[in-house]
Structure 1
């Protein structure tokens, strides 16, 4: 029994905060050497835009903004915005999906989000706003980070393979810009430089169409748990993204056992569709170097990074959406990384 990813709808907020953040972050650095390094890294990040649910009428870090210096917001204030803005952005992604495929008869809802908490859960809020049947089975995947899209699509695949008539709506929604931290630490500022807000929605069923979702794979790198952390604090969720991450990813991809699991024994050169989580320029370069990929193999990932930055779990969905709109793929591999340090993915191919 196969499971098929038919289409993906996407949505981002209307407020581009990338340049405002760069200006604010540079002011937090007191040393000339650190400021120069930040400028160089920001210029090489490959990011042109990052979008935020914070009000478009102001600079979020300005005197009247959400992050005004004299009243740095606590976690409760950030979660208040999440409770309202996350379902709204998710619904916009569903509306985009509905313009591509019929969404009648949804039997299961799988939602992934790691940038907020609310109860009743965001899955229940979304189900109610979509007027799904009360009998709709729901799964909420929380706090897994950037590879949560893999977990969500893998869950949908398992559901469809066990219940062939299932119609599974998969949603990822992340509001990363709710978690700006007051810090002058260069590594922390470079990590925050990557992240933006976005949502995606997909339909997975047993009927042929779109991408045939193949075998999943996963691994956790040894002695790497401290490299990516997402800590709940009194002032939002603090991200720690070590500069060692690209090197550790490169080492993992060079392991023949992992390469075998990821490609199913194929040479990486035989893969004609790479959906790699756009976690940052250096991560994409590490993947390219380790697998010796042609220069244009990760063009979809680079385009998503440029247009949106890293939207945590939604990022991979945006990459897959671009590939769905492109040429036929006979041998595809989706790959994402996140806290753990873990690497997860699945193989896929265009439906016959």
Structure 2
């Protein structure tokens, strides 16, 4: 696959503040318990996610005070810029490149608004060339890691020999709400953390791990399943259907359709690398694809150590899978607002 886009390097990173799941539960109980009679019933969610700890761009005390758009945005810009620089530098160094060797930057983020966009804000700090191509992508949610890899690979393949830097960065904790007394808000509080991943891709000179094919599947009439609602306080999470149930019913047919477009079938896949929304979602994926329970071990490890970092999470799983050895063909999958499944088939030469 000489002319396919290859994974040259990758890196992941998290902000400095670590929160244990029990600590988050107690903070949520303090803030919401007296206002929301259903809180104690829903508090079991914190134990059922499979999460042990998560990371945030601000200390715990910051989240315990009411915040509006200006404060959330300032926290987003500061935290996102620092995390962007961290993972980008690591990925570029691991590729044996200089920052000036980067020709295109793809930035994926759905948890904050920045104009100018993040790659422009850090251009001076990192030292990007003045003619670097910028491709910011917003609104893909949890599907953004896989969809972003797909976009970056096509850009690399369109210009063989050029270096494409993909940065997927999500600061989900900044959307925490005190005024949202809903099950969706409790679910979000029990799941989400902050993190970022960066990948360098290049086409034209071969590579051990190549992007074999990409595809997406958009289900009609599913806009209300997942997304953001924007109001004066900030983003408000939308979860209007149970994701594990949707996965169990619809994911295999959707992925089968994507694979068919690639000229592949489920049996051609040696390893699934999935976005782990939580323990119940992981179990639903294993059942949907008739995998033995526990097959998605990297997914369980990442969700336990980092929580759900939206789009970045699947790239943490990919990093772990690469470190432990990829099979001949793996399929990255993620689900996100739309409601959409994004897939990338990886071909690995031993």
With normalisation by structure 1, the TM-score equals 0.90
Q: Distance in 1 between matches of 2:37 and 2:174?
A: 29
5+ residue gaps, structure 1, are: none
The Cα of 1:286 is off from its aligned counterpart by: 1.2
Q: Distance in 2 between matches of 1:99 and 1:238?
A: 37
1:30-83 superposed Cα distances (whole Å, 9 cap, x missing partner): 59983443232211210011100103xxx33xxxx3432xxx111111101111
Which residue pairs with 1:108 in the alignment? 104
1:143 lines up with 2:128 in the alignment: no
How many matched pairs?
A: 341
Q: Distance in 2 between matches of 1:38 and 1:302?
A: 22
Q: Larger deviation: 12-21 or 164-173?
A: 12-21
1:181 lines up with 2:177 in the alignment: yes
1:218 lines up with 2:216 in the alignment: yes
Which residue pairs with 2:201 in the alignment? 204
Which residue pairs with 2:18 in the alignment? 16
Which residue pairs with 2:8 in the alignment? 6
- Secondary structure in 2 matching 1:274: strand
- Secondary structure in 1 matching 2:38: helix
1:80 lines up with 2:82 in the alignment: no
Q: Distance in 1 between matches of 2:161 and 2:325?
A: 28
Q: Which runs of 4+ in 1 moved over 4 A?
A: 30-33, 263-267
1:34 lines up with 2:41 in the alignment: no
- Secondary structure in 1 matching 2:28: helix
1:244-293 superposed Cα distances (whole Å, 9 cap, x missing partner): 222112222242x6414237565545522221011111211111111101
5+ residue gaps, structure 2, are: none
Q: Distance in 1 between matches of 2:115 and 2:45?
A: 39
Q: Distance in 1 between matches of 2:123 and 2:171?
A: 19
Q: Distance in 2 between matches of 1:238 and 1:284?
A: 25
Q: Distance in 2 between matches of 1:132 and 1:210?
A: 27
> Aligned in 2, Cα 1:309/1:48: closer, same or farther, shift over 3 Å?
same
Q: Distance in 2 between matches of 1:76 and 1:248?
A: 36
> Aligned in 2, Cα 1:25/1:67: closer, same or farther, shift over 3 Å?
closer
Q: Distance in 2 between matches of 1:289 and 1:52?
A: 32
The Cα of 1:10 is off from its aligned counterpart by: 0.6
- Secondary structure in 2 matching 1:253: helix
Q: Check conservation: 1:149, 1:313, Cα contact below 8 A.
A: yes
| Root mean square deviation of aligned Cα | 2.1
Q: Distance in 2 between matches of 1:237 and 1:350?
A: 39
Q: Check conservation: 1:167, 1:205, Cα contact below 8 A.
A: yes
Q: Check conservation: 1:277, 1:315, Cα contact below 8 A.
A: yes
Which residue pairs with 1:167 in the alignment? 163
The Cα of 1:103 is off from its aligned counterpart by: 2.6
Q: Check conservation: 2:255, 2:343, Cα contact below 8 A.
A: no
Q: Check conservation: 2:259, 2:265, Cα contact below 8 A.
A: no
Which residue pairs with 1:25 in the alignment? 28
With normalisation by structure 2, the TM-score equals 0.91
> Aligned in 2, Cα 1:2/1:281: closer, same or farther, shift over 3 Å?
same
The Cα of 1:85 is off from its aligned counterpart by: 1.3
1:319 lines up with 2:317 in the alignment: yes
Q: Check conservation: 1:114, 1:174, Cα contact below 8 A.
A: yes
Q: Larger deviation: 291-300 or 45-54?
A: 291-300
Q: Check conservation: 2:184, 2:237, Cα contact below 8 A.
A: no
- Secondary structure in 1 matching 2:303: helix
Q: Check conservation: 2:4, 2:157, Cα contact below 8 A.
A: yes
1:193 lines up with 2:187 in the alignment: no
1:89 lines up with 2:112 in the alignment: no
Q: Check conservation: 2:259, 2:266, Cα contact below 8 A.
A: no
Which residue pairs with 1:120 in the alignment? 116
The Cα of 1:127 is off from its aligned counterpart by: 2.5
> Aligned in 2, Cα 1:108/1:347: closer, same or farther, shift over 3 Å?
same
